[in-house]
Structures are given as C-alpha cells and as structure tokens.
Chain A
Amino acid sequence: MTAVHELDQIAPEGPMWVLRDTLAVTGRNLRRLLREPEVLFFSTVQPIIFVLLFRYVFGGAIHVPGLRYVDFLMPGIFVQTTAFASTGSGVALADDLSKGIVDRFRSLPMARSAVLAGRSVSDLLRMVFVVLVMVAVGLAVGLRFHAGFFAAVAAVALVVAFGFAFSWISAWIGLSVKSVEAANLAGFVWLFPLTFASSAFAPLETMPGWLQAFARATPVTPTVDGVRALVNGGATLRPVLTSLAWIVGITAVFSTLAIRRYRRIS
C-alpha cells in the first residue's frame, strides 16, 4: 500500500447512491441464494407436497360447487406458499445480524436504507421464482387459467405483492428477535393457522360460523378469493380491492416498524 490518504472518494449522498447501494446489497443477497440452492429447493418442496396431498388425497372428499377442486386449490396454494416463503426475509436478516454482517454494513458510508431495500428487492425476485414454480406445478396437476392470460398475470402479480407485504412482517420479526432459530419459529407458527383458517383449501361455507368470521377478517381469504377469481373468472373487483388494501396497509405499517427497528440496532 502506498500513500494512505490519496484516494478521492465519491460523496455518498443522493438518491443515485441509494439505488446503487440497494443494487449492491440485492446482488449480494441473490448470490447467497444461488449458493444455497437447497433453501430455494425446500421452499418449493413443502408446497408441492401440499399440492399432491390436497389434489390427490383429500381433494376427492372436498366438494366445491361449480369448480374443479384443482382450480379451487391452486390459488390457495399460491397464497400459502408466498406467505410461508416470506419467512425467509426475517431469517436472512436475523442471520446477518448474528454474524456481524449488519455491523459491517452499518460501519460503511453506504445509504442506510439500502440494507432493508436490498433485502426486499431480492425477496421480491425470490417470491416471483417460487410462484412461477408453483404455477408450473399447478399446470402439471391439471390447473387451467380459465380467465385468460392477462388475468393469469394479474393473479401472479397479486400473489407476489401479498408475499412482498408479508416479507415486511417477517423482516420486522427477524430484526426484533435475538437469534436465527427464534426468527424461524416466530416467523412461521402464526402463518399455519392463518393460512389454513381461510378459503384456501375448503369453501368457507362448510366451516362453523365463528371460523368463517375469523377467516373473512384476515388478509388471506380476500387474496385467495381474488386470485381464484382471476384464475377461474367471476367477480374479481371486491376481493382484489380488499386484498390490495391489506397489502398496502401491511407494507406501510411493517416496513415502518422494520425500518425503525433497524435504525435502533446497536
């Protein structure tokens, strides 16, 4: 090394640097993801098992008026899959925290927001990948998009947006707990009842009244209903708007909480 002080560094202010830093962190996250293919693999294995289980084991016993069960089931699977996949955000952040990576980032003159922004961009891409895999699986077991191509694209977009919103909840959890294990557990346990107690796997009308009331009050049911309408045709406006309202609300609240949490890390 020659003279220590000679290098002129470019000032880090401004939106251009926020964008560049976010890209750098996103690239790093995606690279990690590719180096751990088993994580991606297992985040699709579990929903594939669910598809096979519900399509071929339980499906025959579940009667849905006016729809083939596979067309009823797959929108539910899509939504549950992205909800489960969203837990990866919190686990990854907890991992970076515990390994000192976050400290490294915080000691650099980079944009403060880039760590979380990079996380959410890379998780968005991961979400798209997982949903497309599940679409392929759905097609393989007989799913058909009855409402046409553009409605299908809208369905995928809604599912991904839902997963994106949930990954902010996960990020907040991951930044709030003390360990990776805790992030994993705390991120997951509540998603099980939340996604099953919904219209994802069986028609709401077959459930007891109190459960119906609960299911209708969660973001899962309107999202599943919206995706289902976009896949099969039917009234889309009401469930899709309700779902979008949830997505915007969850993202606004939990990104604020996660960012505040990140700023308070010490």
Chain B
Amino acid sequence: MQTAVEVTDLVKTYGETRALDGVSFAVPEGTVLGLLGPNGAGKTTAVRVLTTLLRPDSGSASVLGLDVLHRPEEVRRSIGLAGQYAAVDDKLTGRENLRLVGRLYHLPKREVLARADALLERFDLADAADRVVQTYSGGMRRRLDLAAALVNRPRVLFLDEPTTGLDPRSRLGLWEVLEDLLRDGATILLTTQYLEEADRLADRIAVIDHGKVIAEGTADELKDSIGGSVLVVRPTSAADATTARDVLAALKAGAVTDGTGGELHLQGGSLALLTKAARALTKAEVDVTDLALRRPTLDDVFLSLTGHAAEPTEEGAA
C-alpha cells in the first residue's frame, strides 16, 4: 500500500509555544487517520502545514509523494480541505459557492456546473442551493463546506474538526457521507476531539497532545494498550459515591478515576475483581445502579495517556 500522507519531525513554534513539537505520522492510501487530541494540541497546525497554508520551522511533509514545501501547487490540485470554521461565502448561494471553487480548480465549465449540482444533491442541499448561505443552519454550512472540499474529487481529504458544533443528527449524516467517500477510495486525515468520531471513522488513530504524537494504532490496539477491561461502578447517590471511592481504593487494584455521569472507573478489571468489588460494596452498604465490566473506550485510553479528558466538557455535544 502506498503512503498518501507523510509527516516527519514537524516543528512549529509561535513565540514560546511549541504548537508542533516533532510530530510524525503517516497515512496509507485509502485509509483514514484520526488525529485525536484536545484543543490546542497541534492538530490544526499539522493540517495547515499539510494543506500548504503554513510553513513549519523544521521537518518535512508530503502528500501523494509531493513535498508540500517545494511543490505546493501540485499538492493543492490533489487535496480537499474542510476547515474548522466553515470557509464558505455567506453572501453567495450554495450553488455559487461550489461553482466558484470549481472555477478556481480550473475544471472545464461543463464539469463545474455538473459537479456543483451533483454535490448539492448528495449533501441534501438541492432545495437550498439558490439560497444565500447566510440563511443556512450550522449543519447545512458544514455540509456545504465539505462539498466545497470535494469539488475536484480530491485523492486526499483533510477534515479539521468536521463535526465540531454540529447537532448529533447532522453529525451522523456527515459520518455517512464520509463512509461513502472511503468506499470510493479516498484517503482522509481527520482531526477531532471526539473519541466516538475517531472510533467510528478512523482506521488508525494518532493521539496528539502538546504538539507531540503520544500514541498511535488502531482503536483496538489503543484500547488493549491500557490493559484488559474497565470496572465501572455507578453509585446511586453522592454520599454513596464517597464511600464507594474509598471501598474501591481499598481493593488496591489501581487508581480510581472519574468517568462520565458520576461513574467510577477501575482499570484492569476482571471477573475476580468484579466479585471482590461487589462483596466489598455490599458490606459497606453502598447502593449502586450500575456495576459492570466493559472494554475500555478511547476515553479511557486518552485519560490514561494524558491524565486529562479529551473532550471539552462544557460543549456537551454527544
């Protein structure tokens, strides 16, 4: 399999901040790499280097074997970019936006018109095609932005947080479109702070934090890397939670961490541990609504790798 995207030792500093601190990764052709990390981890900076928008301080990057620093024109011809901030013109209609991009890709006129119409249809924007983008919902703007990135049938697609701020339904719709693209053989590099998104879409995941890739592998490999299952305990009340934390800590099986919705997690769960925990909790008269073993999620992976959660909690997007 050919390598579609390759990044080696990228460094980019802004004053004191090292936005990229020696980032390396590769994406085989026809696969999806999810660049997973919190805000400010360096994901967007890496995408900007790869899409010829930003020169790194050092290191190299290539797309389809073309060096982005030395052959940017050729790189631009084979890529599509959908940014974090939907870069569509709000005063133009959806159709006008796509036609403008088609013209600037220097497609033949007939192709420009046909591509615009086909993409509007495909992204469920045909009815709104002749409305000014200003009147679009957030989800529609994102779909149009993505459509704009596909006008030239790019071989490599860069998606910088494509679903940030989308409602769950629009997010699901976008995922389906991306899955279609993959069937067509495109290579996708996708940045996200949503573990669920990386888990669903990406063949491989590179976890990035503070400008460095701190782990890389398939979702399964990453989950396995933290070892076995997770013991999940969900106490009924806050008072129970305090006692439960002490009880679990007293089992001396590992650190007790906080999951979502008041859950307590214990890494390295096993049937024996579950039994022990159940017995201890009963003895301490702690009431629980949930007591289970499950495979670690990418959340657990991220937490154990970085010591902090991946997703911004205030956004509340599922």
Contacts and interface: CB of A to CB of B under 8 A. Distances in A.
Our verdict on whether A and B bind, yes or no, reads: yes
B222 interface: no
A202 B152 CA distance: 58
A101 B107 contact: no
B91 A32 contact: yes
B42 to A, nearest CB: 15
Nearest to A100: B87
Interface in B139-158: 148, 150, 152-155
Interface string A101-127: 101111111100010000000000000
A110 B151 CA distance: 14
Contacts, number: 105
Interface of A: 1-7, 9-12, 17, 20-21, 24-25, 28, 31-32, 35-36, 99-101, 103-110, 114, 266
B18 to A, nearest CB: 16
15 contacts: A1-B181, A5-B153, A5-B185, A9-B106, A9-B107, A12-B106, A17-B106, A21-B104, A32-B89, A103-B87, A104-B148, A108-B105, A109-B73, A110-B105, A110-B106
Interface in B45-85: 48, 51-55, 73, 76-77, 79, 81, 83, 85
Tell me the dominant secondary structure on chain B's binding face.
loop
Interface in B76-121: 76-77, 79, 81, 83, 85-92, 96, 100-101, 103-108, 111, 118
B122 interface: yes
A105 B89 CA distance: 11
A106 B155 contact: no
Contacts of B11: none
Contacts of B77: 9, 12, 109
A4 B4 CA distance: 14
- Chain B CB count within 10 A is highest, among A3, A25, A99, A109, for A109
Given A103-B87, A107-B53, A266-B53, A4 B105 contact: no
The 5 A-B pairs of least Cβ separation, nearest first, read: A100-B87, A104-B87, A109-B76, A110-B104, A109-B77
Nearest to B12: A266
Contacts of A20: 103, 106
Contacts of A2: 184
A1 B122 contact: yes
Given A1-B181, A7-B152, A24-B100, A31 B92 contact: yes
A3 to B, nearest CB: 8
Contacts of A7: 107, 111, 152-153
B16 to A, nearest CB: 18
A10 B88 CA distance: 24
A36 B152 CA distance: 30
A31 to B, nearest CB: 6
B248 to A, nearest CB: 47
A69 B118 CA distance: 61
Nearest to B119: A1
B23 interface: no
B104 A108 contact: yes
Nearest to B52: A107
B89 A28 contact: yes
A107 B86 contact: no
Contact of A4 (B106, B108, B153): B153
A36 B148 CA distance: 23
Interface in B195-251: none
A2 B48 CA distance: 28
Contact of A1 (B53, B92, B101, B184): B184
Given A103-B53, A108-B105, A1 B85 contact: no
A116 to B, nearest CB: 14
Given A9-B77, A266-B54, 18 more contacts: A1-B180, A2-B184, A3-B184, A4-B155, A4-B186, A9-B105, A9-B107, A10-B108, A12-B77, A24-B103, A101-B87, A103-B81, A104-B148, A106-B52, A107-B51, A107-B53, A108-B105, A110-B104
Contact of A101 (B89, B105, B111): B89
B149 to A, nearest CB: 9
